[in-house]
């Protein structure tokens, strides 16, 4: 019963989200746009259903708030750092592709981590080794050991907060048929 209520709530949320995107694309909130958006959203969800994503842990609200604040802080800080690198006199900063190992278990949390790292200015994920949980990221300003250490520290902080928010060991229930990843 609980799973079906959750499924219906998720479908309603997807419909609302698609209608909102439709209305924003048209740039006018009108009954015609809402109705046409609802029609299009209904067709999309029926004809192009998304595969079920297994939920293997719980969301911890306090950890989620910490994660959001940490991401916000990192967004602001790195925005200023990248802006400074753009305007400071001298040669351009040294950049490189660095490898980061993550210990997240869920593919969903791995995808979330990739999105977080892509949002933070100064780095972008260029390759993902899903099996080994490796991310290869292009990073601006790796000209010193301190800068490289700061990058790896940032990765560790985001990873720790993601695990605390979504993958605590006591709440972890691997999806049927999946091995428990380290």
- Enter the pTM of the model: 0.71
* pLDDT tens, the chain, 182 aa long: 455 776 788 788 889 999 999 999 998 899 999 999 999 999 988 898 877 766 677 788 999 999 999 999 999 998 998 899 889 898 888 999 999 999 998 888 899 999 999 998 888 999 999 899 999 999 998 889 999 999 999 999 999 999 999 887 776 666 654 544 44
DSSP letters of 4-54? HHHHHHHHHHHHHHHHHHHHHHHT---HHHHHHHHHHHHHHHHHSPPPPPP
Sequence ranges of the domains in the chain: 2-47, 61-171
In 3D, which of 162, 182, 64, 85 has the Cα closest to residue 116?
A: 162
């Amino acid at each position: 019963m609980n799973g079906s209520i959750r499924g219906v709530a998720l479908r309603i949320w997807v419909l609302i989200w698609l209608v909102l995107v439709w209305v924003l694309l048209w740039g006018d909130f009108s009954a015609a746009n809402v109705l046409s958006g609802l029609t299009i959203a209904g067709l999309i969800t029926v004809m192009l259903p998304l595969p079920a994503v297994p939920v293997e842990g719980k969301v911890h609200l306090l950890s989620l708030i910490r994660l959001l604040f940490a991401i916000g802080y990192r967004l602001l800080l790195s925005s200023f750092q990248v802006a400074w690198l753009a305007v400071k006199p001298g040669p351009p900063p040294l950049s490189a592709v660095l490898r980061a190992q993550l210990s997240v278990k869920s593919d969903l949390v791995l995808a979330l981590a990739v999105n977080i790292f892509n949002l933070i200015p100064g780095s972008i994920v260029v390759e993902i080794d899903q099996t080994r949980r490796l991310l290869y990221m292009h990073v601006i300003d790796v000209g010193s050991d301190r800068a490289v250490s700061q990058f790896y520290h940032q990765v560790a902080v985001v990873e720790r907060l993601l695990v605390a928010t979504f993958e605590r060991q006591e709440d972890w229930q691997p999806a049927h048929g999946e091995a428990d990843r380290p």
